[in-house]
A and B are shown apart, each in its own frame.
Chain A
Amino acid sequence: MFILLRGFILSLAMGMLSVPAYAEAVSKEQIKSLDEQVQEIKADTLSIATQMRLLEEKLLYPSSTQVALYVSLDNEAKFRLDSIEIQLDGKLVAQHVYAVRELEALRKGGVQRIYTGNSTVSEHGLKVLIRGKTKDSSDFRETNSFKFSKDEGPRVLEVHLVDSDAHRINFRDW
């Protein structure tokens, strides 16, 4: 009897399903078809984006003058990086304040391309300033300077940050 009551309540609810007040039903096939079309437009857009990136690089940073600077973080580093400033030949060319997700990405092995620019064939000076907190939550600020030479090809440089009392900022010249 009680099951009948449950059945009655449910049948009332189910009975209302036939009322033609519903929007057009969305079938599995429709969802699948839309999904496939979305994937196609994603592939198209990725291809366009790749071409845009190559075009931008060729137009704005030709290989003969290009200088690219990357930032990486040692995964053992215990300090929290808050911000970084990069000066090239005494001129501020990049500064970045890190969000939590960006820091996590760096810790997991991601490498941030922080600056891309153009430079002449000669010797150049790079100055890096970082700010953050040590593992015991005290503020720190550290700078380090490096020299590098730019020849006729593109130049790739890396600022590698490690947990060290001596120098947190290290320079890798690729």
Chain B
Amino acid sequence: MSRFAVMLISLLFAAPVLAADGAAPEAMKYLFDEGDARYYAYQDDYFEALVRLDAQQAQSGGFAESAYGALFRPVGGIELRYRMDQRARGSIEAVIEGTARDDQRNEALFRLARLYFQKDQPENALHAVERIRGAVPAAIRADLAFLRANILMANGRNEEAVAVLKDLLDEKSLEGFSSYNLGIALLRSGNNLGYPVYLDRAGRIESDDRAVLAIKDKANLVLGEKLLSENKFEVAKQVLDRVRLSGPFSNRALLSSGWTDASRERFENALVPWSILAEREVADPAVQEAMLAVPYAYGKLGVYSTAALKYETALKAFEGEIGRLGASLSSIRQGELLKSLAREELKQDAGWAVTLRKLTEKPETFYLLDLMASQDFQESLSNYLDLEQLRKKLESWSGDLAAFEDIIRRRRAYYDPLLPGIDGEFRRLESEMRLRSEQRDRIAQLLKAMLTSPRPDLLATADEQIMGKTAARLEKFATPSREKGAPRLYNRIKRLRGVLNWKLNTEYEQRYADTLTQLQKLDQKMDILSRQYRAFVRTRQTTLESYQGYAGVIGSQRRRIAAARENVRALIARQGQALENMAVNELTKRRDRLEAFRAKARFALADSYDRASKTPVRKRDAQ
């Protein structure tokens, strides 16, 4: 049975139907705007995607709600895919209550309504769609109307649903679904003239689409069985014979088709569909019923020996299946089902029910197909697998924390002895640096002042300063009042000073420019020094941060992980128990049904032998 068929089994038990809600790849691209998160989300690893988004949100100090809504369109999509409805609801509500435009708000309300509907909360879903006002995005208009009709039906307001669905009959994307649901809504509202029209319309649709073909089969089956129950055998047979022989609804259609003939005592005709059905997979309830119906028809035709043989075949098959079911029940009680469910291969495939069947080769998987297709089982299984994933993650993080602590311990052991020496040397260099920096600032201030009050003497070289000071000192001794012969020496000193002053004054501009250039070069060196200083401070800070201040965080994480592991362990046990109970109940129900069939077959077998033995030999030969 194909994966698609498994999905469709659920349709059989769910009326009305909701059109498939798989997010199209085109829509997926709007889901996230963060590439890193998208990379994981597109691989269906929603946990890792959410972690990345949350980490980014934490690092950026949190998005404003409106920005959050705009970033992750459709809002709440990723949370829903990770089956975190409560969190998704929070995100959607934030958009609804925020300042979003009408179309954004209405799209959010649509998603909220669908969420409530899927969670079997039709009243809340109705409240959500009733809050929709104003512009609705064109892309969701038809889906919204279809959802509204389904919600109305779930709330028992079938007449209102009829009005909505009639407007959707020409909607191509809902072909088959709208007319089928309209038929069901009319049936539920007691319109016995109206419902056959629309179920018949759904049952005659021409399409290559597998989903449409499935709803077509379903419409024919529902209508055929309804007509059969109303004793309209001829038309019921025509409708039932429209169901494809290979589709997921074919077994029930063949069974009911046989009953439309048998009900008119046309047992030869009834044997045609029943004989086809009786050769199919014996685990199917319709096949089991056909295995009793076939000999029953032969009996009615007076062919008791064949009837007896057929009853015998059915009896053997039922006993074999009862034995297999018993073995399956024991295996489930020993935890084998949960082991199969937790297999790695299963998590790689969205069509896990089919994969499980292929993997395990155990009878329970076939008997459980209907159960597996049910929403409750699927959700429970998904939760079980998610919990298994969480358990492994939490276990691995405990190891990570130990590794982090080891890194911190090693860093502390390495850096702690080194830092005092480094800090001492740094303090010495820092004071020297501060001194040089102050000197540079003084020079800069002097140069600035010299722009308005030139001071050539300040730009004298060391030699010139010594020369100037020497000349000044000699000048004191060579003044004319103190020595007769002084004027000549005095004049020489004065000439010397004159030469010096001349040089300082005539070269002042050049010297000032040269000094400024030197200051700029100094500034470049000072910049490098400052960068080195900042780099050192930062590196030192990073070094300290690489092993200080983690004790609290790691301790807190360890406590949280321990508590979460305990919770996960308890929840896995409860969720596993719930899954096992569902499976055991289903298999027990099927086994009980088979045991009842076996009792019936035994009784009928004896009766057939009895009748066969009483039939005259000539008549038997003729048979």
Contact = CB atoms under 8 A, between A and B. Distances in A.
Interface of A: 2-3, 5-6, 8-9, 12-13, 15-17, 19, 21-26, 28, 30-31, 34-39, 41-60, 62, 64-65, 70, 72, 101-102, 104-106, 108-113, 121, 152
A15 B596 contact: yes
Given A64-B538, A108-B28, A13 B407 contact: no
B84 A39 contact: yes
Contact of B588 (A22, A37, A50): A22
A16 B292 contact: no
A130 to B, nearest CB: 17
Contact of A42 (B82, B289, B596): B82
Interface string B586-602: 00110011011101100
Contacts of B546: 59, 62
30 contacts: A2-B263, A12-B600, A19-B592, A21-B588, A22-B589, A28-B120, A36-B86, A38-B575, A39-B86, A41-B387, A41-B564, A41-B568, A42-B82, A43-B86, A45-B568, A47-B54, A48-B557, A51-B553, A51-B560, A54-B59, A59-B407, A62-B545, A62-B546, A64-B538, A101-B42, A109-B42, A110-B39, A111-B35, A121-B535, A152-B535
Interface of B: 25, 28-29, 35-36, 38-44, 47, 50-52, 54-55, 58-59, 82-87, 120, 259, 262-263, 289, 292, 296, 376, 379-380, 383, 386-387, 390, 393-394, 397, 400, 404, 407-408, 534-535, 538-539, 542, 545-546, 550, 553-554, 557, 560-561, 564, 567-568, 571, 574-575, 578, 580-582, 584-585, 588-589, 592-593, 595-597, 599-600
Contacts of A34: 380, 383, 571, 574-575, 578
Nearest to A104: B42
A41 B567 contact: yes
A49 B51 contact: yes
Nearest to B384: A38
A42 B538 contact: no
A39 B35 contact: no
A22 B380 CA distance: 19
Secondary structure of the A side of the interface?
Answer: helix
A8 B580 CA distance: 31
A38 B383 contact: yes
Contacts of A26: 376, 380, 578, 581-582, 585
Most buried by B among A2, A19, A34: A2
A30 B597 CA distance: 33
Contact of A31 (B296, B539, B568, B578): B578
A108 B38 contact: yes
Contacts of B262: 2
A111 to B, nearest CB: 3
Contact of A109 (B38, B58, B86): B38
